[in-house]
Amino acid sequence: MKTGIYPTPPHVSTVTEGVDQHVHAAIAKLNSSLSLLSGWLAFLDWSGHLAVSPGKRLELMELAFEQMQYLSGHIFCTALAASGGQVSDCFDPRSTDHRFRAEEWHRWPFNLMQQSFLLAEHWWGTATTKVWGVSDHHERIVSFTARQLLDIFSPSNGLLTNPVLLHHSTEAGGLNLLHGYLNALDDLKRLVTGQPPAGTEDFVVGRNVAITPGKVVLRNRLIELIQYTPTTEKAFPEPVLIVPAWIMKYYILDLSPQNSLIKYLVDQGHTVFCISWKNPDAQDRDLSMDDYLELGFHAALNAVNAIIPGRKVHGAGYCLGGTLLAIGNAAMVRDSDHRLASMTLFAAQTDFTEPGELALFIDESQVSVLEAQMNETGYLTAGQMVGAFQLLRSNDLVWSRIMNEYLLGERAPMTDLMAWNADATRMPARMHGQYLRHLFLNDDLSEGRYLVGGRPISLGDIRTPVFCVGTETDHVAPWRSVYKLHFMTTTEMTFVLTSGGHNAGIVSEPGHPQRHYRISTNLGGDTYIAPDDWMSATPAKEGSWWPEWSDWLKARSAEPSVLSKSEAVASHYPVLGDAPGQYVFQK
């Protein structure tokens, strides 16, 4: 009889893996695509280390005693508050917390309620951070979860504990609650029937958004390429190729005429090509990151070169599209392909070691759960992504909506950007798994391990001038993470930090009120400046950053000339239809 370790038969491994996948997919479906084990591991890490940290527990006991003294002082001033006076707060909310700004919150008994809540929030913030031995990832998960649970009990979210709501209800005779009930019923009906949110019917693609005149000149199984002709008499010879993210519909860059970046560019004399991604379904489950590079970026670039031959191309990528553009640029340089004249990145990360609060939902356990679920369906749904973003900004996107629409009974007016945001897309299972693992989990791109065509690429090879835009309040691609491209390449780089978030900071047209930005250029080889030092040393300018980018493109383009008819259509790329094409309408 033979002894030793016997290999597991291949069919057994396949069967057991299949069982595990089905189980994990079922668990993910029950838990809104979240890994409960990831949360439990974080809780055990935190609670276990807190249990063996007597100094931290003593600190928390002292803090609780101090807070009790503060509240006792408030109670002692009850007589002053009852006579209509005000009691000064002992603890102020965060500068970004707007829940308790109204004057009514500073009167008794509501001042006692909001102060009790803020002190509890502060105590739990102290309890869940800086515990000896807890990993950074687990600390962020526990602290985030504690904030979410506390927000449920915020006095601002209750009918009887919110003085602003009570005052409004009294003046309206309770009609606001009736209106809110009707709003809730309407939203529930739309959710059940799969209809878009109320108000989106006022923003119809091709009618009042995405209406810049253009022609579809390429269609394959993954993209449509739309060409936009300059409206000026003369045009710059070098075209602009825009690579938007496939997590979104392309027309965020072509919203209403007054805030369309594409229209702005053609009005400045640029020929613009923009990719419109297909909304993938289960049949596209095996599309990979390489497919998005080949069928997307490279296919579009080849078409642009055929339509406007002999000219280099200004590449511009937004969010994940910017990451793909950086990957493509680095691979092209590696392969001695120099067709790009410049590279512009809008809120796009190339280093994923500090991806902001999105990292809460990205670890081995969480990615495995998502992969199991995607293997069942073939794609990641838009709802799964939207849920994560709503949790990250629950005060702004969840609780404030409940307060305004269901309790105050007031619908927020729908805007073109909000309507676009509701027009979400899916992502293929294979591609998204690769994206999460190779970029987020392993950070292969910035570490020089990312493979294109079976060989690694390096962002340090990029030599084209770079225009890089970060946004101040970005929760998807934090600007300090975007800024890290400075020490991954030595090429000339102009960096812009603009006000606004991931979307509103990019859709920041000239004339938009209350906009500002910072801008500076590193010529390559200059001494590295840390992001916070850069922000302190770079003065803010009022207005939109779009003119700065337009001037930057013009400075790196040849002199404009009259557009010839041969540049409008190429024989190998006949016009297939008018913009916005067909793929943008896919649900």
Write out 37-84 in H/E/C secondary structure.
Answer: HHHHHHHHHHHHHHHCCHHHHHHHHHHHHHHHHHHHHHHHCHHHHHCC
Decide if 381 is inside a domain.
no
What spatial distance separates the first Cα and last Cα of the chain, rounded to whole Å? 62
Name the domain boundary from 149, 171, 193. 171
Identify whether residues 222 and 337 lie together within a single domain.
yes
Q: For residue 498, what are the β-bridge partners? A: 471, 517
Decide if 186 is inside a domain.
no
- Domain of residue 82 covers 36-171
Is 77 among the catalytic positions? no
Identify whether residues 129 and 228 lie together within a single domain.
no
The dihedral through the CA atoms of 251, 257, 258, 264 has a sign that is: positive
Identify whether residues 579 and 469 lie together within a single domain.
yes
Name the domain boundary from 171, 205, 230. 171
- Is-contact 273 348, C-beta < 8 A? no
**What is the enclosing helix (H) or strand (E) of 452?**
strand 451-452
pTM reported for the whole predicted model: 0.89
Name the domain boundary from 171, 196, 225. 171
Query: What's the confidence (pLDDT) of residue 26?
Result: 76
Identify whether residues 51 and 166 lie together within a single domain.
yes
Both tokens of 368, joined, read: 């495995």
- Is-contact 216 545, C-beta < 8 A? no
Three-state SS for 392? helix
Identify whether residues 155 and 222 lie together within a single domain.
no
Q: How far apart are CA 210 and CA 264, in angstroms?
A: 13
Query: What's the confidence (pLDDT) of residue 193?
Result: 84
Query: What's the confidence (pLDDT) of residue 172?
Result: 87
Q: For residue 456, what are the β-bridge partners? A: 451
Q: How far apart are CA 341 and CA 333, in angstroms?
A: 12
Decide if 229 is inside a domain.
yes
Is the bond preceding residue 9 a cis peptide, omega within 30 degrees? no
Identify whether residues 333 and 450 lie together within a single domain.
yes
Alpha carbon separation from 372 to 33, 207, 305, 533 (Å, rounded): 10, 40, 41, 43
Query: What's the confidence (pLDDT) of residue 11?
Result: 46
Decide if 376 is inside a domain.
no
CATH, residue 321: 3.40.50.1820
Identify whether residues 147 and 228 lie together within a single domain.
no
Is the bond preceding residue 109 a cis peptide, omega within 30 degrees? yes
Q: Count of domains in the chain? A: 2
Q: How far apart are CA 33 and CA 366, in angstroms?
A: 8
Query: What's the confidence (pLDDT) of residue 363?
Result: 85
Identify whether residues 78 and 137 lie together within a single domain.
yes
Both tokens of 561, joined, read: 């000339």
Closest C-alpha among 19, 26, 31, 13 to residue 391: 31
Decide if 480 is inside a domain.
yes
Decide if 406 is inside a domain.
no
Query: What's the confidence (pLDDT) of residue 566?
Result: 44
Query: What's the confidence (pLDDT) of residue 380?
Result: 83
Q: How far apart are CA 437 and CA 402, in angstroms?
A: 35
Is the bond preceding residue 547 a cis peptide, omega within 30 degrees? no
Query: What's the confidence (pLDDT) of residue 435?
Result: 92
Identify whether residues 139 and 264 lie together within a single domain.
no
Q: Position 531: which residue type?
A: P
Catalytic residue among 77, 90, 274, 319: 319
Both tokens of 387, joined, read: 């849920």
Decide if 408 is inside a domain.
no
Task: Describe the chain by its helix, strand, coil percentages, rounded to 5.
Answer: 50, 10, 40
State which residues of the chain have pLDDT below 70.
Answer: 1-17, 28, 31-32, 74-96, 382-398, 564-571
Query: What's the confidence (pLDDT) of residue 542?
Result: 96
Identify whether residues 149 and 280 lie together within a single domain.
no
Identify whether residues 257 and 161 lie together within a single domain.
no
Decide if 373 is inside a domain.
no
Identify whether residues 283 and 166 lie together within a single domain.
no
